[in-house]
């Protein structure tokens, strides 16, 4: 079957003319046909073209059908601006150059024309074929290929194909033409040599064999003989004017390529073996320009092309009678398409300008060439604006039954390809089911793969395998051991937060008696710390010792079983370490109730500190507390907890360094089942009050932070609850209600504290109604850092700075205070020495106990103002006090002249002693005697200021003997005397006479025999209450001076009532009982007697 030929294709223009007339494209115009034969010669084609243009004056040239002839005609036609419609076998890309051939249109299935305006080419197929090959290579990820070709039999066809492949590779960097090989003469040896060369450089092989003669069958056979018909290779036969695996026969029939008998190639292979090798071949071809399935319309067209050759203007009867010319040429349809497309373009041109000169205006006709119409085979024909036909090619493959089929269609439009597969899976395209690689893993030579150690080093491989197995077993054992140890570690860490109730020892609060006991040398504590002993168990808290550390236990009235996630939470909480976070000790699960354990902070909660109105806080102190809270919250928000959820000022604890420690965080599983108190909801944000069952958020913490800041600045509780009429329920309702002006705490601070206005704005932002408008904790910290103004980083630094400032003036102040203290101490000592003996007072100041002491020999003195009751009745209370003060002042001056200790005064009575606590040998009697004589002598000159006529007189009693002295009592302690000698001295005074010094026999003996120098007079025997009959004496004076009676007038004795002081010999019934009484009971009786 011929592809082209005058006798088998020329009549296609008559069929086209009938359609043109039927569609009224060129009504009023007739057609004259002039036929020239170029015989595919370039020079002959050039000459015939000039004849057609200059001599025959044709309007359009349809042809030539060969490459070189087509180039010559296109060049001349562009010079004369005559349209040329080429078809048939014109395939080279050169004709597609629009700049060189602006009046040529190509109807062949080939070249895309880039920026080429005139020439319509019906035939430039090879470059489109190259574009189709590129698309197939890219689609199957083949980055490189080799090209093998031969011009044997046709010097033009494969040469053009070679040029187009090179151009395609240059314009597409993703596809590389790795190697190109030309076979000069096709023989089995040359084919084998070619295959040997390309095996070193590629696995994707593109071929082009121009001639027939069984070249393709010989090539496939050579792949089998060269052992290259394997799954590593793919052979792509890219050919124009081809039916793929089918070969045309002279009688119009077809046979398979492997059955081709042309040529004289001896391969020694059967057709079945060759057919098997064809399974690795892909054909990309145009199917000879015919549709894959021939329609009745196409068959009718081919029949007319043969039958109408006998008509005008061809009149081919005898020459066309040969049987060779009874089958239409393959590309006769392109001749039809060329003539018809010219008519359509001319119709458009004449519609624009009907001038007859436009019949041959190539540039105008090319300007209207873009069109789509139905071709003779029923398929669509599309020409673009450059005069290039959009090419339709097909990819043929072999199925599993080794029968050819169309695997895909490729519509080539310029440089783009529309690929339509007709297979369901790509694996059906490959003989082995696996797509070959463009470069084998081990390279083309097979030496690029690493050595096969299993084969080359079997022993070492076995040893390595055993080592690997051992390593795997060890790894598995290690993994199991790691899992086991991790489980053990988790259990160990769980034991850290699970505190047994038996490990807790409750702190016992001190009783009031224990708290009040202290020595005289101790004083009240000035510390502001809260000792744990002062804390007692409350409704929510209880204090324990755990491992010698004081902790606080929070009570939870529920019992829970915790899952693994909750235990992991407790483990992580146990490991929290932050300066502003209170340490979580753990949980006590085996006690009477669930307890959460936290570290004890000695200064209590922030709420406790604020409630103490005496606590002074300057602006930096407040700022430090606020910053500590923000730092603690930042740690919580950036931890796995994400939020606190129940932040209040009661959760903010203060340690001994005045650092805030946030407590009560976490424990979500516990908090879920607890109902908070109304007072605790004062810190809860509005959105959480409205949705109590919802999960808490970090925005809610920011709101709580703002409320706590208001407490710090105003130094009041949340919402100043103590000074409000509203109850917590009402406040919570107002906050929950919200609105345009929601209820919030006051931020009015005292005038003495300067607060940064920016801090007030920040607090208001924190408690804004919308959670999304509240700052994050990091933004809060950033704002706080901007307010520091270069001050110290923490509160202790601030305190130390104040101490450094104060230290410069401290020494002088201490000196002044020390002087004041010394003066005050002197005053205190003087007062104390007047109340107690100096020796006794010094012991008490040192905190030493004063043990009762026995003194074998002392002298006791008693005195009493005669008829003081009568005298006092004449005076007012103030005058009585003045009288006694004047009298005692004189007496105290006399006492200071002698070694005498004044024990006490009771009303108008005087009690003195000598010989204790300072022992003075026997001089005690001398000092008492002189003091008594001095008392009586001083009364001569004493006058009562408001009663100058009245006179004062005394009764004095003296006794010597043994006594016991000691300090009695805690409140107003007194140095007291005990013993019968004291009783006897008291009896001497009460049984004495006014103006007389009444002494016992023991005292008289001491005065006259022991110390001497004193004159006494016996009174005789006197009945003494509790003592019976005693001989007593009067002390008259010292030997060196006059007696008392000689120096004074005798004062008449006032009338007396019958009493214990009477000297009549009346024996009292209870005398023996009274002997045992002490000083205080004796004096009570005496005063009752007066």
Instruction: Quick: pLDDT tens for 688-727.
Output: 998 877 789 999 999 999 999 999 998 889 998 888 888 8
For residue 600, give every residue at least 6 positions away whose Cβ sits within 8 Å of its Cβ, in sequence order, or none: 532, 543, 549, 550, 551, 552
If asked whether residues 335 and 220 sit together in one domain, one would say no
pLDDT at 429: 92
If asked whether residues 179 and 309 sit together in one domain, one would say no
Examine residue 403 and state whether it is found in any structural domain, yes or no: no
pLDDT at 1081: 38
Examine residue 572 and state whether it is found in any structural domain, yes or no: no
Instruction: Quick: pLDDT tens for 659-688.
Output: 999 999 998 888 888 888 888 899 999 999
d(CA 315, CA 10): 11
Q: Please count the other Cβ atoms lying within 10 Å of the Cβ belonging to residue 573.
A: 22
If asked whether residues 254 and 317 sit together in one domain, one would say no
Instruction: Judge whether residue 1072 has pLDDT over 50.
Output: no
Cis peptide before 741 (omega within 30 of 0): no
CA angle 739, 743, 745 (to 5 degrees): 155
Instruction: Judge whether residue 1051 has pLDDT over 60.
Output: no
pLDDT at 377: 67
- How far is the CA of 276 from the CAs of 235, 269, 395, 432, 435, in angstroms? 13, 11, 19, 12, 17
Average pLDDT for residues 747-755, to the nearest whole number? 76
If asked whether residues 238 and 313 sit together in one domain, one would say no
- Six token digits for residue 907: 């009303």
Query: Distance of alpha carbon 458 from its chain centroid, rounded?
Result: 55
Residue by residue, what is the 3-state secondary structure of 823-887?
Answer: HHHHHHHHHHHHHCCHHHHHHHHCCCCCCCEEEEEEEEEEEEECCHHHHHHCCCHHHHHHHHHHH
pLDDT at 155: 75
If asked whether residues 709 and 605 sit together in one domain, one would say yes
Q: How many residues does the chain have?
A: 1090
Q: Which of 222, 256, 285 is the last residue of a domain?
A: 285
Instruction: Judge whether residue 997 has pLDDT over 90.
Output: yes
Q: What's the mean per-residue pLDDT of the chain?
A: 83
pLDDT at 635: 95
Please count the helices (runs of H) and the strands (runs of E) in the chain.
Answer: 34, 31
Instruction: Judge whether residue 536 has pLDDT over 90.
Output: no
Average pLDDT for residues 893-913, to the nearest whole number? 89
d(CA 604, CA 529): 8
- Six token digits for residue 771: 């959670």
If asked whether residues 117 and 203 sit together in one domain, one would say no
Q: Which of 770, 795, 820 is the last residue of a domain?
A: 795
Instruction: Quick: pLDDT tens for 975-987.
Output: 888 999 999 999 9
Reported as half-sphere exposure (CB side, CA atoms, 13 A), residue 403 has a value of 2
pLDDT at 802: 67
Q: Please count the other Cβ atoms lying within 10 Å of the Cβ belonging to residue 621.
A: 17
Question: What is the extent of the structural domain holding 183?
Answer: 144-285
CA angle 242, 243, 245 (to 5 degrees): 115
The CATH code of the domain that includes 211 is 3.40.50.2300
CA angle 895, 896, 900 (to 5 degrees): 55
d(CA 879, CA 887): 12
If asked whether residues 62 and 148 sit together in one domain, one would say no
With residue 906 as reference, give the H or E element that holds it: strand 901-906
If asked whether residues 1043 and 894 sit together in one domain, one would say yes
Average pLDDT for residues 838-842, to the nearest whole number? 78
- How far is the CA of 493 from the CAs of 310, 497, 498, 575, in angstroms? 108, 7, 9, 10
Examine residue 594 and state whether it is found in any structural domain, yes or no: no
Q: Please count the other Cβ atoms lying within 10 Å of the Cβ belonging to residue 606.
A: 24
204-209 β-sheet, strand order: 176-182, 144-150, 204-209, 234-239, 281-285, 391-398, 404-413, 416-421
d(CA 627, CA 645): 19
Least confident of 172-176, 514-518, 562-566, 1036-1040: 514-518
pLDDT at 509: 62
Tell which residue, 388, 352, 353, 358, has the closest CA to residue 370: 388
Phi, psi of 82 (to 5 degrees): -105, 135
If asked whether residues 214 and 333 sit together in one domain, one would say no
Examine residue 883 and state whether it is found in any structural domain, yes or no: yes
Kindly give the pairing relationship between strand 416-421 and strand 234-239. unpaired
Examine residue 1056 and state whether it is found in any structural domain, yes or no: no
Which of 295-299, 820-824, 913-917 shows the highest mean pLDDT?
913-917
Residue found by looking up tokens 């629009």 in the block: 98
Phi, psi of 335 (to 5 degrees): -65, -40
Instruction: Judge whether residue 527 has pLDDT over 80.
Output: no
pLDDT at 519: 34
The CATH code of the domain that includes 699 is 1.10.510.10
Examine residue 679 and state whether it is found in any structural domain, yes or no: yes
Tell which residue, 391, 416, 396, 371, has the closest CA to residue 91: 391
Q: How would you label 966-993 residue by residue, b for 16+ Cβ within 10 Å and e otherwise?
A: bbeeeeebebbbbbbbbbbbbbbbbbbb
**Structural domain count, the chain:** 4
Average pLDDT for residues 152-180, to the nearest whole number? 87
Instruction: Judge whether residue 1046 has pLDDT over 60.
Output: no
Instruction: Judge whether residue 1048 has pLDDT over 80.
Output: no
Quick one: pLDDT band at residue 431, thresholds 50, 70, 90?
A: confident
Instruction: Quick: pLDDT tens for 412-428.
Output: 887 889 999 999 999 89
Q: Please count the other Cβ atoms lying within 10 Å of the Cβ belonging to residue 186.
A: 24
Instruction: Judge whether residue 777 has pLDDT over 90.
Output: yes
Instruction: Quick: pLDDT tens for 4-61.
Output: 888 999 999 999 999 999 999 999 898 999 999 998 899 999 999 999 999 999 999 9
Tell which residue, 864, 847, 837, has the closest CA to residue 920: 837
Quick one: pLDDT band at residue 126, thresholds 50, 70, 90?
A: low
Q: Which of 349, 367, 394 is the last residue of a domain?
A: 394
pLDDT at 212: 65
If asked whether residues 766 and 638 sit together in one domain, one would say yes
Which alpha helices (DSSP H) does 259-312 contain, by range?
271-277, 296-307
pLDDT at 596: 92
Instruction: Judge whether residue 516 has pLDDT over 60.
Output: no
Examine residue 745 and state whether it is found in any structural domain, yes or no: yes
pLDDT at 263: 56
If asked whether residues 713 and 636 sit together in one domain, one would say yes
Examine residue 825 and state whether it is found in any structural domain, yes or no: no
If asked whether residues 50 and 172 sit together in one domain, one would say no
Which of 376-390, 446-460, 531-545, 1037-1051 shows the highest mean pLDDT?
376-390
pLDDT at 1053: 38
């Amino acid at each position: 079957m011929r592809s082209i030929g005058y006798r088998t294709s020329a009549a296609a223009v008559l069929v086209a003319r009938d359609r043109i007339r039927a569609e009224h494209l060129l009504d009023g115009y007739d057609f004259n046909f002039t036929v020239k034969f170029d015989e595919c010669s370039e020079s002959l084609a050039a000459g015939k073209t000039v004849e057609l243009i200059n001599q025959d004056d044709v309007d359009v040239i349809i042809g030539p059908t060969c490459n070189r002839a087509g180039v010559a005609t296109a060049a001349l036609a562009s010079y004369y601006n005559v349209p040329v419609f080429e078809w048939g076998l014109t395939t080279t890309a050169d004709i597609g150059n629009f700049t060189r051939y602006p009046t040529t249109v190509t109807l062949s299935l080939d070249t895309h024309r880039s920026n080429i305006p005139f020439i319509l080419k019906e035939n430039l197929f090879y470059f489109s074929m190259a574009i189709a090959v590129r698309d197939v290579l890219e689609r199957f990820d083949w980055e490189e290929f080799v090209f093998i070709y031969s011009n044997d039999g046709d010097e033009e066809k494969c040469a053009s194909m070679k040029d187009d492949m090179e151009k395609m590779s240059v314009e597409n960097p993703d596809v590389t033409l790795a190697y190109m090989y030309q076979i000069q003469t096709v023989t089995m040896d040359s084919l084998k040599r070619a295959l040997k060369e390309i095996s070193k450089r590629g696995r994707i092989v593109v071929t082009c064999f121009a001639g027939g003669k069984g070249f393709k069958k010989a090539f496939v056979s050579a792949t089998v003989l060269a052992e290259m018909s394997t799954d590593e290779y793919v052979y792509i036969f890219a050919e124009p004017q081809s039916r793929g695996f089918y070969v045309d026969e002279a009688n119009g029939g077809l046979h398979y390529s492997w059955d081709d008998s042309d040529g004289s190639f001896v391969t020694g292979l059967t057709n079945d073996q060759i057919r098997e090798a064809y399974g690795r071949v892909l054909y990309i071809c145009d199917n000879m320009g015919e549709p894959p399935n021939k329609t009745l319309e196409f068959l009718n067209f081919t029949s007319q092309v043969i039958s109408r050759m006998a008509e005008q203007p061809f009149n081919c009867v005898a020459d066309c009678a040969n049987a060779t010319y009874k089958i239409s040429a393959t590309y006769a349809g392109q001749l039809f398409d060329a003539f018809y497309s010219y008519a359509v373009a001319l119709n458009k041109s004449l519609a624009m300008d009907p001038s007859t000169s436009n019949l041959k205006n190539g540039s105008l006709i090319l300007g209207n060439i873009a069109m789509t119409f139905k071709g003779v085979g029923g398929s669509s024909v599309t020409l673009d604006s450059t005069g290039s036909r959009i090419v339709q090619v097909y990819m043929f493959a072999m199925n599993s039954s080794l029968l050819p089929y169309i695997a895909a269609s490729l519509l080539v439009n310029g440089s783009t390809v529309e690929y339509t597969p007709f297979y369901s899976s790509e694996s059906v395209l490959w003989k082995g089911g696996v797509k070959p690689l463009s470069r084998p893993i081990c390279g083309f030579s097979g030496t690029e793969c690493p050595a096969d150690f299993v084969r080359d080093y079997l022993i070492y491989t076995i040893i390595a395998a055993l080592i690997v197995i051992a390593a795997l077993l060890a790894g598995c054992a290690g993994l199991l051991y790691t899992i086991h140890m991790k489980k053990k570690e988790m259990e160990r860490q769980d034991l850290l937060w699970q505190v047994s109730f038996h490990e807790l020892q409750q702190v016992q609060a001190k009783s009031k008696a224990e708290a009040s006991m202290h020595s005289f040398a101790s004083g009240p504590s000035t510390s502001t710390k809260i000792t744990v002993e002062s804390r007692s168990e409350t409704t929510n808290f209880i204090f324990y010792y755990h491992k010698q550390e004081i902790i606080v236990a929070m009570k939870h009235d529920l019992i829970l079983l915790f899952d693994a996630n909750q235990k992991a939470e407790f483990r992580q909480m146990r490991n929290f370490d932050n300066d502003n976070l209170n340490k979580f000790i753990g949980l006590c699960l085996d006690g009477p109730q669930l307890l959460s354990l936290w570290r004890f902070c000695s200064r209590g909660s922030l709420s406790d500190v604020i409630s103490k109105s005496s606590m002074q806080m300057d602006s930096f102190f407040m700022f430090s507390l606020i910053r500590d809270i923000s730092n603690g919250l930042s740690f919580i928000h950036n931890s796995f907890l994400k939020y606190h959820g129940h932040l209040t000022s009661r959760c903010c604890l203060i340690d001994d360094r005045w650092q805030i420690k946030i407590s009560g965080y976490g424990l979500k599983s516990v908090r879920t089942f607890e109902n908070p108190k109304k007072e605790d909801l004062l810190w809860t944000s509005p959105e959480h009050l409205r949705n109590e069952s919802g999960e808490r958020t970090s925005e809610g913490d920011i709101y709580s932070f703002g409320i706590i800041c208001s407490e710090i600045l105003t130094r009041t509780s949340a919402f100043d609850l103590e000074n409000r009429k509203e109850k917590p329920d009402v406040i919570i309702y107002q906050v929950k209600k919200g609105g345009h002006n929601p209820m919030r705490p006051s931020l009015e601070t005292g005038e003495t504290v300067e607060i940064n206005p920016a801090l007030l704005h920040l607090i208001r932002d924190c408690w804004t109604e919308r959670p999304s408008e509240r700052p994050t904790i990091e933004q809060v910290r950033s704002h706080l850092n901007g307010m520091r103004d270069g001050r110290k980083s923490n509160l202790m630094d601030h305190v130390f700075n104040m101490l450094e400032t104060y230290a410069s003036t401290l020494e002088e102040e201490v000196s002044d205070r020390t002087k004041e203290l010394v003066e005050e101490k002197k005053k205190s000592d003087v007062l104390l020495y007047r109340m107690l003996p100096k020796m006794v007072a010094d012991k008490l100041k040192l905190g030493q106990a004063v043990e009762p002491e026995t003194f074998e020999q002392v002298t006791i003195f008693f005195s009493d103002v005669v008829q003081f009751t009568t005298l006092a009745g004449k005076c007012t209370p103030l005058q009585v006090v003045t009288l006694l003060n004047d009298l005692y002042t004189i007496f105290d001056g006399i006492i200071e002249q002698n070694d005498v200790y004044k024990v006490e005064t009771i009303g108008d009575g005087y009690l003195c002693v000598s010989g204790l606590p300072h022992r003075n040998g026997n001089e005690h009697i001398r000092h008492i005697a002189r003091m008594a004589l001095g008392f009586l002598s001083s009364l001569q000159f004493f006058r009562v200021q408001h009663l100058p006529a009245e006179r004062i007189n005394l009764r004095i009693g003296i006794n010597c003997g043994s006594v016991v002295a000691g300090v009695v009592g805690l409140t107003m302690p007194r140095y007291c005397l005990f013993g019968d000698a004291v009783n006897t001295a008291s009896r001497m005074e009460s049984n004495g006479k006014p103006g007389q010094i009444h002494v016992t026999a023991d005292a008289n003996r001491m005065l006259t025999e022991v110390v001497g120098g004193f004159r006494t007079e016996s009174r005789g025997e006197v009945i003494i209450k509790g003592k019976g009959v005693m001989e007593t004496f009067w002390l008259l004076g010292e030997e060196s001076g006059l007696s008392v009676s000689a120096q004074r007038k005798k004062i008449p004795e006032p009338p007396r009532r019958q009493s214990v002081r009477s000297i009549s010999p009346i024996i009292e019934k209870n005398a023996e009982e009274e002997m045992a009484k002490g000083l205080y009971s004796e004096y009570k009786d005496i005063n009752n007697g007066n």
